Structures are given as structure tokens and as C-alpha cells.
Amino acid sequence: MAEPRPKPPDGPSGGSRLIPFHVAYLALALLGVFLLRDLWVQSQAVAPIPYSEFQQLLREGQIAEVLVGSDEIRGEFREERDGKARFVTTRVEPDLAADLEKYDVEYAGRIESDFLPTLLSWVLPVLFFVAIWMFLLRRMMSAGGGPGGGFMAIGKSKAKVYVEKSVGVTFADVAGVDEAKAELEEIVAFLKDPRSYGRLGARMPKGVLLIGPPGTGKTLLARAVAGQAGVPFFSVTGSEFVEMFVGVGAARVRDLFEQARGQAPCIIFIDELDALGRARGAGPAGFGGHDEKEQTLNQLLVELDGFDPSSGIVILAASNRPEILDPALLRAGRFDRQVLVDRPDKLGRAAILRVHLRKVDVAPDVDPDAVAALTPGFTGADLANLVNEAALVATRRRADAVHATDFTQAVERIVAGLEKRNRLLIPREREVVAHHEMGHAILASVLPGCDPVHKVSIIPRGVGALGYTLQRPTEDRFLMTRAELENKLAVLLGGRAAERLVYDHLSTGAADDLARATEIAHDMVVRYAMVPELGNATWVNETAPYLGMTVPRGAREYSEETAREIDCAVRELVDRAFDRALAVLERNRAILGGGARRLLDEETLGQDALEALFEKLEPEPEAG
């Protein structure tokens, strides 16, 4: 089957058709400049004088010749007056011939016609406004990409059309989402060989919805499908359909599908579908409306039902807000498949890093698996940014290749923020920060099930971080027990406990630790039902998937007595974790002081130095 190629856009935005248009405007501009110059020169050489002065000069013999018109008299002086050789005056007397002959002045009459000035006074303003209108019209059309763009074609689709070579992305450029890629490989097979896949009566899926957190590679996957199949790829975002005029979005949807039918087999990709497909009837009192978004969504639903799957058109869409999409959009027959593109695990992150590392010069000491272990929760976009940051770090220090230390600095910069060595702390504050960070490190090394400490530093970073403790997870965790969460609470409160133990005071440096610890304790109580006194019920509001946002249900669904029990349980979990951290640091106070002093001298301690320092840590006694 011959591969369809999109036609290049015609119109004023391309080709040589713009040349006469611009040449004409240039010629008119030059002509106007010359006319203005002549008028200015003439105005400088002609002296306007009153008629009485003209009569006086005539009697004195200062007038050489005149040209008499119906309303004015123009002439030349015999000698220049004030640097002017010509004059003009208003005609008052109807008969001047006798006076001119008397004083030996050459004269002539000028026959004036009112037809041409009158005609020009009507035609020139009209031509001027027509020229301005044509100029603005051409500008609007060229801004829209040709005769089909701009204001005159406001209902035309703004989809960008690519073909195989223009996309430049295949499945070889996608990693870390093997399950989603396997689902989409079947779509590619359908597009390449529809007859073979339809021999048993199967039909190609009409639509595939890619859902997942931002930055996981949904758009990249859609482009890879088009590049792998070698078919035209229509790319458009949901917000491009919505305008202030009702009906424009529906017209653009119709035009998009009309273009797609002419290019079939092809792929239509709608990014950020939630901007267009938000659930209808979500207005006040639950009533729907006739606004632009609903009309556009209705037209999209009709188009999804209206085309034949055998025509070779596949709809791909991406959204990170599937919970707000209209149910009619998600039913079978429209978007037949929903593919989850989730955050990659450790193996997936290593595979993504290998894809991006092909584009930079890396040293042999760079291990993608070790870098992946430092980046739990990173998406594909985050990892691409990480590789770029590491390359920038290596470039700044004028290295020949990117080393493992560059990746560590890049991770610290992304997670903790930019180093701020110009933020000078007084010696007392540096000591408090050193003991605070060493308290975190000791708790993470003593308590079981905690991620090992990779690095401790007292160099200020970011907005308010005066130091940081970086832990390296050994594996991705998807389930955590109550004991592990309690250990995490104790690690978070280790810095505050160290300040209390050494200086017998509490500072503002633990504000972020307290917020995170309170959040974990609250989730343990209201979401995970880990407090026996509250039973096995959850008391949490709805949580929006993928974004970590909490969507309140409205009125609270439990009593004031239950709310008090929740508050008491949260406070008890946090206080117990603080007392536990205080007890661990009390047993290891000598190591706490020695580690803080070494941290003050070196500012940063790596994993090897910390392991040597913590060899004699006293473990926590077993309960009971």
C-alpha cells in the first residue's frame, strides 16, 4: 500500500507568492517617502504672504511673474526675500490684468477642474482602508499557516501532521514501560497488516487511552507507535479544541476526522484529554449546559462512533486525570483499551537510563543500576533531566566524560536543591545542623528495615534546607508494615531528638521532618487502620490517583468523638517515635558527638566514611 504523504501547505506562509505582495508595499512606501520629501521641499521654498503685502510688492516692482488661479496667486520674486524665491497668496480682486500690465509683470491663468480632486477625495480614502484591511487579512491568514488558517478558518483543525521520518521515535527509544509497550505493539501490527489480524473476525481497537502520572512517557509512547507503524500521525492537545465561540471546537473535531479519513491508515493523538473530556453535568446543582466544552465533547463522541475500525484510524489519547473524564468517553466502542503507564521500577529506571546514556559520553564507573537505586519514584522525564544535569555538572568541571560522582551531585541537586555555599551560618548553628543530620543517620543505621545512608552533608541547599541526609533504597517497596512505618517515623524525628539530647532545646530546623512524620502518622490512623482502638475502618477523604492530591468529600463523615480519637492516635504515634529516637541516641551519644565533629570538619561524609564511623553502634534492644 502506498504511503500517503501530507501535502505541503499552500498560501502566503510559503513559496514565492509573497514576493509581489511585499514588493508592492515596498514600492508604495518609497513613493510615499519621495512625495513627502517633495512636499516638504516645496513648503520650505514658498513664502505665504497676505494679499495687501502682494499689492505693496507689486507697486514696488518686486514681483517678476505670477500664475493666477481662481482662488490663489502664485509667483516669483525678482530677488529672494528671507531666503525664499516664490510666494503664494489668496486672490481677492477678480481683475488683476490691468495692474499686472501696469507694473510690467508676466502673468498667466490656470484653468482648474474640480473633477479630479473630487474623485480622488472619494477614491483615495476607500483605497487606503481597503489596503489596510487586505494587509491585516493576509497577516491573519499567514499566522494560521496558510489560506486555511487564521480568522477566516477558525473552525479548522490545528493538528500537526507528521509522517514516519518526521516522528523519528520508535519502540527502541522507549524503555521502562514494557507492559504498556506490549499493548501498543499490537496496534502497530494491526496498522501494518489489518487483513492478517482480522482473519478471525477481530477488529482493530478504536481508541486507546494512556493514563498515568505526568512525565511517565505517554506522549513518547504515542509517537513511538506512529514511528514504528510508519503512518501519518496527527498530534493535537485537548485545549486546542476549546475556543470562546460556541461551535468552533465541534467544527475542529469534524475537520480533524475528515483529514484523518483522507490520510488513513493513520493515528490521531489527543494529548491532555481531560481538558476536553471532563465529565458533563458537573456544574451547579448537577445540571449540564450548552457551553463550548460540552458541545465539543458531544461531537467527539459522535465521531468516535461514526468511523469504521477497518478504515485504519486509531485514536490514542493521554491523561493523568482519568477520574474526571466523562463515562461516555471511556465506554467500550470508543476507548476500548486503557493502558496504565506507571512510574518505572528499579529495573525500568535502569533501562531508561541506558537509553539516555547513549546520548552522552560516560565513564566506565557509571553503573545504571546504582544510579537507578538512588532515584526511587523518578519518572522517565525525571531521569532524562537527571542525565542532562549530570552532563552539565561534568561540563562545568571541564571533564572528558560523565562520572558516577556527577550523577550523585545531579541527584542531590534535583532532590535537595542547589548548593548555597554563600549562605554563611554562625558556628553555633553549624553545630546544631551537624548533630541534627547525624541523628538522622544514626537512626537510619540502627533501626531494621531502613534504607542505608548514602551521604550526609551540612552544606545548605534549596530554599530552607541547612543540611540533608541522603538514603539509597536497596529495592522498590510497594507494601510496608506498621513496624516499618514506625521506624520511618523515628528516623524522621532523629534530628529533633539529637537537638533535644545535646542542647536541651528545640529549634525550627525540624519543621519539614515534623510535617512528613505527622502526615505518615495520620495516614497510618485514617487510611491504613493501623490503630486497634479505631477498628478496621478508614476515615480518609477521596484521594485523586497519580497526583497525590486529596479531594474532600464535603461534610466530614465521622463524629467529633471519632475526630478526637484520631487526633490522639496521631499524636501518640509521633510522640512514641520521638521517645524511641531519643533513647537510641542516648545509648550512642559518643558516636553522635564524634560524627558531628567530623561532619563539621569535612562538611560531607560518604557511605564508606559513615560505615566506618557506625561500626560500634549499639542496636536497639528487642521489645519485651
Output the domain CATH number for residue 92: 3.30.720.210
Question: What CATH number does residue 269 fall under?
Answer: 3.40.50.300
Whether residue 621 lies inside any domain: the answer is no
Same domain, 177 and 142: no
Same domain, 460 and 579: yes
Whether residue 422 lies inside any domain: the answer is no
Same domain, 104 and 142: no
Question: What's the structural domain count of the chain?
Answer: 5
Whether residue 317 lies inside any domain: the answer is yes
Residue at which a domain ends, from 388, 416, 444: 416
Q: Spell out the long-range contacts of 278-281 with Cβ–Cβ below 8 A and sequence spacing 24 or more.
A: 278/324, 278/325, 278/326, 279/324, 279/325, 279/326, 279/327, 280/326, 280/328
Q: 15: alpha, beta or left, given left = phi > 0 and alpha = psi -120 to 50?
A: left
Whether residue 619 lies inside any domain: the answer is no
What lies within 8 Å, CB to CB, of 333 at 6+ separation is: 206, 304, 305
Same domain, 299 and 179: yes
Whether residue 620 lies inside any domain: the answer is no
**HSE-CB of 118 using CA atoms within 13 angstroms:** 4
Instruction: Tell me the longest C-alpha to C-alpha distance in the chain.
Output: 140
| Residue 204 phi, psi dihedral angles, 5° rounding | -70, 135
pLDDT at position 10 is: 43
The predicted-structure confidence for 189-209, as pLDDT tens digits, reads as follows 777 777 776 667 777 777 888
For residue 561, give Cα distances in angstroms to 206, 558, 577. 52, 8, 25
The predicted-structure confidence for 33-54, as pLDDT tens digits, reads as follows 566 656 555 555 677 888 888 8
The predicted-structure confidence for 363-387, as pLDDT tens digits, reads as follows 998 999 888 888 888 888 899 999 9
pLDDT at position 286 is: 46
Whether residue 421 lies inside any domain: the answer is no
pLDDT at position 516 is: 93
pLDDT at position 488 is: 93
Write out the catalytic residue numbers.
437
pTM, to two decimals: 0.65
Same domain, 209 and 300: yes
Residue at which a domain ends, from 304, 320, 340: 340
Same domain, 331 and 360: no
Same domain, 309 and 441: no
Please tell me the distance from the alpha carbon of residue 583 to that of residue 330, in angstroms, as a whole number.
Answer: 55
| Beta-strand pair 453-457/604-606 | antiparallel
Identify the domain containing residue 91 by its residue range.
49-112
Question: What CATH number does residue 394 fall under?
Answer: 1.10.8.60
pLDDT at position 477 is: 76
Same domain, 464 and 606: yes
Same domain, 201 and 315: yes
Same domain, 448 and 504: yes
The predicted-structure confidence for 332-370, as pLDDT tens digits, reads as follows 878 888 888 888 888 889 999 999 998 899 999 899 988
Residue in the structure block whose three cell numbers are 560531607: 604
Whether residue 5 lies inside any domain: the answer is yes
208 and 336 Cβ atoms separated by less than 8 Å: yes
Whether residue 285 lies inside any domain: the answer is no
Question: What CATH number does residue 595 fall under?
Answer: 1.20.58.760
Single out the residue of 170, 545, 184, 214 nearest to residue 385, CA to CA. Answer: 214
Residue type, 237: T
Same domain, 485 and 584: yes
Residue at which a domain ends, from 366, 391, 416: 416
Reduced to 3 states, what is the DSSP secondary structure of residue 555? coil
> Which three cell numbers mark 365?
564507573
- Alpha-carbon torsion (599, 601, 605, 610), positive or negative: negative
Q: Which residues of the chain have pLDDT under 50?
A: 1-19, 143-152, 155, 284-289, 553-554, 624
Please tell me the distance from the alpha carbon of residue 271 to that of residue 274, in angstroms, as a whole number.
Answer: 9
292 and 249 Cβ atoms separated by less than 8 Å: yes
| Residue 51 phi, psi dihedral angles, 5° rounding | -65, -35
Same domain, 179 and 70: no
Please tell me the distance from the alpha carbon of residue 372 to that of residue 353, in angstroms, as a whole number.
Answer: 8
For residue 539, give Cα distances in angstroms to 290, 484, 528, 563. 38, 22, 9, 9
